[in-house]
């Protein structure tokens, strides 16, 4: 009697990734992490004639990572497409029709659930309760998003950063934590095995964060586009990397840690390895994780703002040299969404004025996250260069640009820059993971941000930036966890709605 083939043990997956639109096909990838060396069966996909073979990406401590790449034919209207293994589990994804307009959920911080009792949130959230026993850990809204997907039927899941809690990863890697915890910032040479330790901690964290039932269901049914940011690195590594100079001792010490974190981010957040990047990873030509997509008359550009960052810049000159070519891909689009972990547009002048008036202790605490701002000291010229580059492209082509980023001190909302024939909107996404008390007791960062949102700013000559109030309730900033639901219409307009499960208000913006 023939021996029955051993069944692989699935540790994680499938994680769906969007790879782009090509004529009448919707390109996707599905990633699995399996325990042991058993190769998975071919994947069967509705509408795809041939079985999809697995591709081995890498192995980490007997955990093998496999990927399936496939293109689904598109009908005239949206189609529920099932995929899975013969005699095994199956999942369903909504593939847009040829005449459909993209619908997406934009979120930030889906992996930021690792706060410890008594620890203050890294981005100025609500302080913990006075007793450790009453402290509730942050909770990601995967069940709520899954319910929202049932009604909204999202085509894409745009994750703008914080897919893994970098602080928790560093805390689980004692050698890295010790190296980065040197208050003098005189970093010594990295210890043997420190990068491997950090990679292992990150790998374990991703398995833990994405293996819950609701998270797994969402990630298996909505194709993701993800971009890492400072939260994925953790405060210690992000702060040290952002404050370095090229070629100095700190750079040499930090590079193995950054490389390990970046490798883990590329594996899980783009479903690829450096040796074989997908076509949508436009930044592969310059060693970054920047991604670009054209979907009919809508475009999506996710910039890598960390690989080449230092104290004086966010992008390298090689990045800058390629940016015009990347933008040319969107010349025929009516609307481009720019994904940037840190907001490109914010009341920076008001923040700077506030910082000058605060006591030294509060100014230091407020400044801990300033290195992540586009307008941080030393980078203002680059911020202006970026803003003018996108503004010139928008004026030249008529393509409207909307920026999607994390919240302003954790609060959601929107702002608009007008001037010189330009109108550019900035969408601030709420946190996707937060404690139940976050909305009721916003942190001091949020309370300080409230008055700043009421004052217009003039970041460039003849340009005005403001944060208008929402019609429902008159608030400019929204507190509490959630995400932004976005859809396009036949005129190229973007319709955004802030979905806050704990808030019954209707907060919308047509752009």
User: Does residue 107 lie in a domain region?
Assistant: yes
**Domain boundaries, position 279:** 101-120+139-510
Contact at 8 Å (CB) between 344 and 403? yes
Same domain, 379 and 474: yes
User: Does residue 444 lie in a domain region?
Assistant: yes
Same domain, 72 and 189: no
The neighbouring-strand residues paired with 293 are 300
* Structure confidence at residue 120 (pLDDT): 35
pLDDT band at 116 (very low <50, low <70, confident <90, very high): very low
Residue 215: in which H helix or E strand, if any? helix 213-221
User: Does residue 471 lie in a domain region?
Assistant: yes
Same domain, 4 and 47: yes
User: Does residue 28 lie in a domain region?
Assistant: yes
Taking phi over 0 as left and psi of -120 to 50 as alpha, with beta for the rest, 37 belongs to alpha
Same domain, 55 and 168: no
Same domain, 298 and 287: yes
Q: Render pLDDT for 317-362 as a digit per residue (tens, 0 to 9).
A: 999 999 999 999 999 999 999 999 899 998 865 555 555 555 555 5
Dihedral, CA atoms, 302, 303, 304, 306, nearest 10 degrees?
Answer: -120
- In 76-178, which ranges are E strands? 79-84, 90-95, 103-107, 139-140, 156-159
More confident residue, 390 or 362: 390
User: Does residue 131 lie in a domain region?
Assistant: no
* Structure confidence at residue 204 (pLDDT): 95
Same domain, 163 and 301: yes
* CATH, residue 40: 2.60.40
Threshold 0.85, pTM exceeds: yes
* CATH, residue 433: 3.60.21.70
**In angstroms, what CA-CA distances link 177 with 120, 170, 174, 196, 267?**
18, 6, 5, 13, 23
User: Does residue 125 lie in a domain region?
Assistant: no
Same domain, 143 and 230: yes
For the chain, the domain total comes to 2
Same domain, 147 and 14: no
Same domain, 243 and 296: yes
User: Does residue 386 lie in a domain region?
Assistant: yes
Same domain, 39 and 68: yes
pLDDT band at 64 (very low <50, low <70, confident <90, very high): very high
User: Does residue 130 lie in a domain region?
Assistant: no
């Amino acid at each position: 009697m023939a021996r029955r083939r051993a069944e692989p043990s699935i540790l994680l997956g499938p994680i769906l990734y969007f790879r782009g639109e090509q004529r009448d096909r919707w390109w996707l990838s599905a990633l699995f992490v399996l325990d042991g060396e058993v190769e998975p069966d071919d994947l069967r996909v509705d509408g795809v004639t041939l079985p999809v073979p697995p591709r081995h990406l890498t192995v980490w401590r007997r955990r093998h990572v496999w990927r399936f790449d496939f293109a689904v034919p598109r009908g005239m209207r949206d189609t529920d497409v099932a995929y899975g293994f013969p005699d095994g589990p199956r999942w369903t994804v909504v593939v847009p029709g040829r005449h459909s307009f993209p619908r997406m959920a934009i979120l930030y911080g889906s992996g930021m659930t690792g706060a410890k009792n008594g620890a203050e949130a890294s981005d100025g959230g609500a302080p913990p309760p006075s007793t450790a026993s009453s402290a509730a850990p942050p909770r990601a809204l995967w069940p709520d998003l899954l319910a929202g997907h049932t009604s909204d039927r999202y085509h894409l899941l745009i994750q703008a950063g914080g897919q893994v809690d970098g602080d928790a990863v560093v805390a689980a890697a004692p050698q890295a934590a010790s190296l980065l915890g040197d208050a003098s910032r005189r970093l010594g040479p990295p210890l043997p095995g420190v990068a491997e330790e950090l990679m292992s901690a990150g790998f374990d964290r991703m398995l833990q964060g994405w293996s819950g039932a609701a998270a797994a269901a969402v990630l298996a049914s909505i194709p993701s586009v993800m971009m890492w940011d400072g939260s994925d690195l953790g405060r210690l590594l992000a702060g040290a990397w952002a404050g370095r100079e090229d070629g100095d001792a700190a750079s040499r010490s930090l590079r193995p840690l950054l490389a390990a974190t970046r490798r883990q981010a590329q594996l899980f957040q783009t479903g690829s390895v450096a040796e074989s990047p997908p076509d949508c990873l436009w930044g592969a030509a310059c060693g970054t994780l920047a991604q670009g997509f054209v979907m009919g008359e809508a475009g999506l550009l996710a910039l890598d703002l960390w690989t080449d960052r230092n104290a004086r810049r966010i992008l390298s000159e090689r990045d800058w040299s390629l940016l015009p070519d990347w933008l040319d891909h969107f010349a025929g689009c009516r609307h481009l969404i720019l994904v940037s972990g840190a907001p490109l547009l914010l009341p920076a002048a008001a923040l700077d004025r506030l910082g000058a008036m605060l006591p030294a202790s509060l100014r230091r605490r407020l400044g801990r996250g300033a290195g992540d701002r586009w307008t941080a000291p030393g980078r203002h010229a680059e911020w202006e260069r970026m803003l003018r580059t996108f503004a010139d492209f928008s004026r030249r082509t008529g393509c409207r640009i909307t920026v999607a980023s994390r919240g302003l001190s954790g609060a959601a909302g929107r702002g608009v820059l007008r001037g010189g024939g330009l109108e550019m909107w900035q969408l601030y996404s709420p946190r996707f993971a937060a404690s139940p008390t976050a909305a009721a007791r916003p942190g001091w960062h949020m309370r300080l941000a409230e008055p700043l949102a009421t004052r217009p700013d003039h970041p460039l000559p003849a340009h005005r930036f403001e944060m208008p109030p929402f019609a429902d309730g008159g608030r400019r900033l929204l507190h509490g966890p959630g995400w932004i639901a976005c859809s396009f219409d036949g005129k190229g307009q973007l319709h955004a709605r802030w979905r806050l499960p704990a808030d019954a208000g209707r907060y919308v913006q047509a752009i």
